[in-house]
Amino acid sequence: MSHFRCLLVDIEGTTTPISFVHEKLFPLARERLEDFLRLNWTRPEVQDSVQLIRQQAAADIAAGAADCPAVPEPTGTDFGGAPVRNAVAANVRWQMASDRKTGGLKQLQGQIWRDAFTAGQVKGAVFDDVPAAFRRCNNAGISVYIYSSGSVEAQKLIFTYSQHGDMQPMFAGNFDTAIGAKTVSDSYTRIAEQIGLPPNDILFLSDNTKEVAAAIAAGMQTAVLSRPGNAPLTEQDEKQYRVLTSFESIAAQ
């Protein structure tokens, strides 16, 4: 691959096993959902997430999702209390059943996970080859950024409380889908603008070929990660994209 000045990486299936997200984090969010809402219902940040979920529910229903649980408007000092909490929980479970990646859902999941990470009940899983690659980039003056569908808070939790220790200082910044969907090329154009580099100076790594195709359309260098547990690549994928099985070649001399 050509010289690059910035490394932009996905998390799930790229730096972190898919199994950690689907078998650890998602079940934890489902298990603690109702208790978290009950205990933290009036916190402003939780109500911010609830409002995003409410707006998304209205949009889904308007788009024809008849089975989407509606979220009523808040009333009174308790923001509608148990009836609205129950509606939010029903909507979150509905979204998670379809592996949705909406902003409100991801934001609320991050808030639930925070308690588990900070209490030491969960350690972020990161492939063993990743920290060394990030250190090589840091030492070579190559900035490292994260771009994930998970909220920025969730991203920081995984790397701050990783099994390799606090990795967050290795990053120059984090992006989530607030900047745009990961399969849309304009999102990568906006990221390049915010980083302040031409797209061709940025190397984007992901396990998702649709994301990689969008980054290519924006002018970025790319590679697809083929990790254990990832969806298998087709023969066409292997011909069309640069494929890596680890980060061992990244910024290697």
Of 76, 92, 118, the residue at which a domain comes to its end is: 118
Same domain, 132 and 213: yes
The predicted pLDDT at position 251 comes to 86
Q: Is 33 part of a structural domain of the chain?
A: yes
Enclosing H/E stretch for 145: strand 143-147
Same domain, 111 and 219: no
Question: Which amino acid is located at 81 in the chain?
Answer: G
Same domain, 128 and 193: yes
Same domain, 55 and 138: no
Same domain, 36 and 107: yes
Residue with tokens 């154009």: 189
How many whole angstroms separate alpha carbon 83 and alpha carbon 150?
27
Same domain, 187 and 218: yes
Same domain, 11 and 134: yes
Tokens found for residue 172: 């120059």
Same domain, 91 and 167: no
Total tally of structural domains belonging to the chain: 2
Q: Is 73 part of a structural domain of the chain?
A: yes
Helix, strand, or coil (residue 71): coil
Tokens found for residue 45: 């940040």
Of 219, 186, 215, 217, the C-alpha closest to 200 is 219
Q: Is 56 part of a structural domain of the chain?
A: yes
Calculated CA dihedral for residues 53, 99, 222, 128, nearest 10 degrees:
110
Of 77, 102, 118, the residue at which a domain comes to its end is: 118
Same domain, 163 and 188: yes
Same domain, 100 and 164: no
Q: Is 45 part of a structural domain of the chain?
A: yes
Helix, strand, or coil (residue 203): strand
How many whole angstroms separate alpha carbon 101 and alpha carbon 142?
29
Same domain, 101 and 196: no
Of 118, 133, 152, the residue at which a domain comes to its end is: 118
Q: Is 249 part of a structural domain of the chain?
A: no
pLDDT in tens, the chain (253 residues): 679 999 999 999 999 999 999 999 999 999 999 999 999 999 999 999 999 999 999 999 999 999 999 999 999 989 999 999 999 999 999 999 999 989 999 999 999 999 899 999 999 999 999 999 999 999 999 999 999 998 899 999 999 999 999 999 999 999 999 999 999 999 999 999 999 999 999 999 999 999 999 999 999 999 999 999 999 999 999 999 999 999 999 987 5
Q: Is 181 part of a structural domain of the chain?
A: yes
> Residue 82: which CATH number?
1.10.720.60
Same domain, 130 and 105: no
Show the domain range for 225: 6-16+124-244
Q: Is 251 part of a structural domain of the chain?
A: no
Q: Is 66 part of a structural domain of the chain?
A: yes
How many whole angstroms separate alpha carbon 54 and alpha carbon 48?
10
